[in-house]
Structures are given as C-alpha cells and as structure tokens.
Amino acid sequence: MTVFRHILLFGVGLIGGSLSLALRKSGYTGKITGVDRNEKALGRARELGLIDEAVTSATKAVSEADLILLAAPVAQTGTILASIKPWLQETTIITDVGSTKSDVVAAAYQELGEKVGNFIPAHPIAGRELNGPDAAIDSLFSGKKLVITPLPENTGKDIEKVAMMWMQCQAIIHFLSPEDHDNVFAMVSHLPHLLSYALVDLVARHSNADLMFEYAASGFRDFTRIAGSSPEMWRDISMANKKQLLHELDSYLAELGQLRNMLASDDAAGVENIYANAQQARLNWITTIEAAEKQDRTS
Amino acid sequence: MTVFRHILLFGVGLIGGSLSLALRKSGYTGKITGVDRNEKALGRARELGLIDEAVTSATKAVSEADLILLAAPVAQTGTILASIKPWLQETTIITDVGSTKSDVVAAAYQELGEKVGNFIPAHPIAGRELNGPDAAIDSLFSGKKLVITPLPENTGKDIEKVAMMWMQCQAIIHFLSPEDHDNVFAMVSHLPHLLSYALVDLVARHSNADLMFEYAASGFRDFTRIAGSSPEMWRDISMANKKQLLHELDSYLAELGQLRNMLASDDAAGVENIYANAQQARLNWITTIEAAEKQDRTS
C-alpha cells in the first residue's frame, strides 16, 4: 500500500534515512528524492540506497512530489518552507519531524501563509545518539510514538495520509496540541539532554578529568548516552523551545536546591524520601511501559 | 585456587551474592557463611545457594572466618565493625565493598583501633539497578575495576590476598587514596545518581506527570536508569560523601546557571559550544573504553 507516489526528503540523515528504509521494507514502491545542504551526506545517502535521486536544487522535485518531509535541524524550517512555497502544487502535503512544535508551527504560518493547511506538523519519538545517513535503520520507528500536532487548517484526509505513512513504518499515532507537546518534551527530553551535556562538559573541564573518566562506569555511561547526540540539533531544539526549557530548568534548579539543603543540614530522611519517591515512580513507569509493549506484541 | 577457607558475608544482596557466585564459578571450594539483618533476604540467599550457612548471630562465624566481607549499606560499617571486633582472630582479614571510602576508613580507625591493619578498604566498580539476593549474577565483576584504598597499617601480603580473591572474580585491581577515590566518585557516580533521582521526582510531582511519563522515551529511560537504584543505599552514600558531593553539586549548579544565562540571552553559540565540548569528550571517553575492552579480550 502506497499513500504517496513521490516523497521529497529535506535532510537525509538518521530520521530521513530511517523513514526511507522503513517505507521500503513495508513495500513502498514510489520514488524518494533527497536534498541536503551537506553534499557528502547526500552522496552517501544515494550510495546506501536511502534515496533514488539526489538533488542540490529542489525546485523541480518540490513541484513533482506529493509529500515533502522536513528532516533537517528545526532552525532551518522557516528557510526551507520559504524556499519551497513558490513551487508547491495545491495538493502537495508537507510534514516534518521536528522535536519542537510551537516554533515550527509559527514558522509554517509565517512562511506558508494561505498554504499553511498543507503543512501537517509531526514528531516521531525515536532516535539514536548517532547521526547521518550511516546511522539510518529500518526499525527506528517500530513500536514508537509518532505525535501529530494538527493545525485547524489541516484536512482530516491529509492528516490521515501522513498518519498512514508512519503506520506503514510501524509507528503508533498520537495527537497533542503544539503547546502540550512542547511542555511535555521540555521535561522528558530537552531538559535531560541539557543536564547530560552539562555534566560531561563539567567533567571534561575538571582539573582531574583524566582520573574521573578513567573510573566512570556504566551508570555514567547511561546517564550521558544522550550527550552523544548532535550538538547542532540540540542547540536548535534548546533555543526553539527556550521558554518551556527555561521553565523546567528553573523547577529542576529548585529541586536541586532543596536536595542541597537537605545534604548540608544532614537531613538523611529528606534525601531518602526524594530518592524513594523517584525510584517508585520510575518502577511504576517501567512496569506500565512493559505491560503496554507486551500488549502490542500480543494484539 | 583458594586464598581463603571460610568467608563470612555481612550482607547477602546483589554484591555479596554476586561475589559468592563468581568465586564458586572460579572454583572456590571453601565455606561461605552469610549474615543479614533482613531475614527474608538471608533465607532467600540460602535457597539460591549463595551461602552455605545462614546465621543470625555472627559471633561464632567471626571467630572462624579468615575473610570477613562487609557488603551492607555503608552507614552500618561502624556498627558491624564494633560488633565483630571482640571475636576477631589475629590473622582474620576484613574488607568491604562500600561506594565511599573516607567515612569507611574513619569508622575502621574508630572501631577497630589497634586491629585496623586487618581492614583492607575496597570498592568494586560494578552494580545493577536491581537489589537483593535475586539480583546476584556470577559475571557482575568480570572486567570491572576493583579499587583498593590501602591503609598504612595494612601488610602487602593481606592486600595481595584480597586482590587475589577479586582477580578470581575477573576484576581488575586498581589503587587510589581514599580521598582521591571519594573525589572521583562524587563526580562520576554519586552526583549523577542525585541528578537522576531529582529529575524523576520532579516529573512525578508535576501536575502533568501522567502525560509526561506517557511520552518519556529511551533517552529518559537511560538517563534515569540509576534512579532505579536502592534509595537507602544511595541515601547512605550521599550522606557519607556529603562534603565532596556538595562540592561537585555546586560546580554543577554553576554550570547550569551558565547554560541558563546563555538560553535566556539567546546565546545559541554558547549553548552549542558546551554541547559540542561534551559530545566530543564523551566520544573520546567511549573510544578509550572500547579500545581498553578490546585489549582485555585479546590479552
């Protein structure tokens, strides 16, 4: 089953490449064209068979594609939308994979104007700490959530088409408002990335850095796995969702301040209370996830 | 090869139990006696074959054992040492597995007095987020570091015996001063645990907690894996290494303050600079670890 005939990918890295592999695996027989400001990545994507065609100017492909997918760092959204607008056909659907939504939606209104209804904002909750075409895998979205944050101007039919494409990649479709999306991900994704980068940077700049890295073990490795992610991508996400991120960072700083006071005043029971509440909450969360995964496998 | 005839474990949870399994796997044929204030855990350890004998009063076993290993939460170190001192033979070696060393060493001097030379402070850099006898596995220490922080009163021969026992469990022996040990682990272990617990607690107390946990994904899961650890154990570690932990927490708060200012003032380049420094440092670290692991496998 093929919803689209011709997909144009802006960005042929981990996400764009994995979408291509997942669609091919599901039996997609249409054309996939790729464009990327990084020529090396573009050539590599062609070599790996992630795209059928690599173009450096997207003008022709924009006018021919029936789906345009933005999979470049979120800060480029406005520029890309502005550049493609003159060549869009009336029925062309545009969607994205940005980790932030309020800024992407604002850029869509600004750059697409009367054509904004063609833009279906979306975000696959899937990733790896590796980047680029070589990191693409066909299972990246399998069993993972794909959040659509629809606009009032979108038609149900267009939303359904985008949802169908992601369902072909084994993703599970969810809907949120752009604001709820950005609130939630500021806390469970953007803030942990900032915290993880901050800790590794602190260790790296420490006068005792070599000894510290020598003894860092599996706990440190897992805690800092997300600090292996693309700095450019996460700079863009941090800046794009700055308001929510600052809000949650301030809550976290208050929480650390509270723990600091407990430590300083030998309030062992207070420290244990926070640790125990966290351990129990995480256990409940993991139990729920695992039950849901089991349900998915048997349904 | 068996260095000891009779090992007495104070604490038959993850670490004590895994040591027992690893020793048995390596061919240890001596006796292993267990004592634990948790009677259920003690019975379970006996059922699982982690110990040959479960005792509730350790008096007799203390006078018979040639190695006593403390594998209970670090805050209990002083109490246990005081209780065993009257029954110690002259040649009995005592060692521990505590995640902090300065406080353990202080407790040893205080409680053992003239017998302090029998105490070899040690710390295996290995763990799981699971606890108790059922979490014990025979490979827990394989390829992992075992740090000994010797006292001036220790004899080389006794240190060698403890080292030999851990080498039988495939651990790699390292030496640090208690102070260096506590500095290093405050940063790469104790602080990440506190940060991870703090984040999960913050999410769990949020008015939007359910929605946040629903969308938390693999990045959050890895970042918070260590928040699944025993709250009591980590309360004890946090309090025991309070001075160093507060020092590193303050450095981290300063780092977050810097990032906060960069975000608030739209300094995207500053944010990227920190993220990129962290990503590069982590990549270098992982590359070094993997090279060392490869070396271990081929040597």
DSSP string, A144-209: -EEEE---TTS-HHHHHHHHHHHHHTT-EEEE--HHHHHHHHIIIIIHHHHHHHHHHHHHHTSTTH
B274, A205 contact by CB (below 8 A): no
CATH superfamily for B6-176 is NAD(P)-binding Rossmann-like Domain (3.40.50.720)
Contacting residues of B for A174, CB less than 8 Å apart: 215
**Residue whose structure tokens are 């590599």:** A44
Q: Given A189, A246, A281, which is nearest B200 (Cβ)? A: A281
Helix (H, G, I), strand (E, B) or coil at B154: coil
User: What's the mean pLDDT when you consider all of chain A?
Assistant: 95
Residue in B129, B279, B284 to test binding to A, most A beta-carbons within 10 Å: B279
Helix (H) or strand (E) holding B177: none
CB spacing of B266 vs A195 below 8 angstroms: no
* Cβ distance of A283 and B228 shorter than 8 Å: yes
Mean pLDDT by 10 residues, chain A (299 residues): 89 96 96 95 97 93 97 92 96 96 97 97 88 95 96 97 97 97 97 98 97 94 94 94 97 98 98 98 94 70
pLDDT, residue A286, reads: 95
- pLDDT, one tens digit per residue, over B55-86 is 988 899 999 999 999 999 888 999 999 999 99
Over 90: is that where the pLDDT of B140 sits?
Answer: yes
Cα→Cα distances B103→A142, A173, A187, B194, Å: 49, 52, 36, 19
A256–B253 CB contact, under 8 Å: yes
A213/B183 touch (CB, cutoff 8 Å), yes or no: no
Report residue B96 as tokens: 């521990």
Cβ-based contacts of B274 with chain A (< 8 Å): 197-198, 201
Phi-psi region of A11 (alpha: psi -120 to 50; beta: other; left: phi over 0): left
* Confidence category of residue B279, pLDDT binned at 50, 70, 90: very high
Report DSSP state, residue A37.
S
| C-alpha distance from residue B217 to each of A140, A192, B223, B259 (Å) | 13, 11, 10, 24
* Cβ contact B239–A147 (<8 Å): no
Which residues does chain A have within 8 Å of residue B251's beta carbon, measured at their own beta carbons?
A: 202, 206
Task: Tell me the ipTM for this assembly.
Answer: 0.89
Residue to test with chain B: of A130, A145, A201, A250, most B Cβ within 10 A: A201
Q: What is the pLDDT of residues A34-51, one digit of tens each?
A: 999 999 999 999 999 999
Q: How far apart are CA B38 and CA B73, in angstroms?
A: 12
CB count in 10 Å sphere of residue B56: 9
- Between B144, B226, B260, which is nearest A249 by CB? B260
Tell me which DSSP letter residue B190 carries: I
Contact by Cβ (8 Å): A213, B288: yes
Span(s) in chain A for CATH 1.10.3660.10:
181-265
pLDDT digits (tens, 9 = 90+) for B141-166: 999 999 999 999 999 999 999 999 99
| Tens-digit pLDDT profile for residues A185-209 | 999 999 999 999 999 999 999 999 9
* Angle at CA of residue A87, ends A83 and A92, nearest 5°: 105
Question: CA angle, B276 as apex, B271 and B280 as ends, to 5°?
Answer: 155
Q: Which chain A residues touch B259 with a CB distance below 8 Å?
A: 194, 198, 249
Judged by CB atoms closer than 8 Å, whether chains meet at A274 and B227 is answered as: no
**Fold (topology level) of A181-265:** 6-phosphogluconate dehydrogenase C-terminal fold (1.10.3660)
Q: Choosing among A130, A149, A190, A197, which should be mutated to test the B contact, i.e. which has the most B CBs within 10 A? A: A197
Note whether B252 contacts A147, CB cutoff 8 Å: no
Cβ within 8 Å, pair B227-A279:
yes
Binary contact (A204, B281; C-beta < 8 A): yes
Portions of chain B given CATH number 3.40.50.720: 6-176
d(CA B124, CA B169): 11
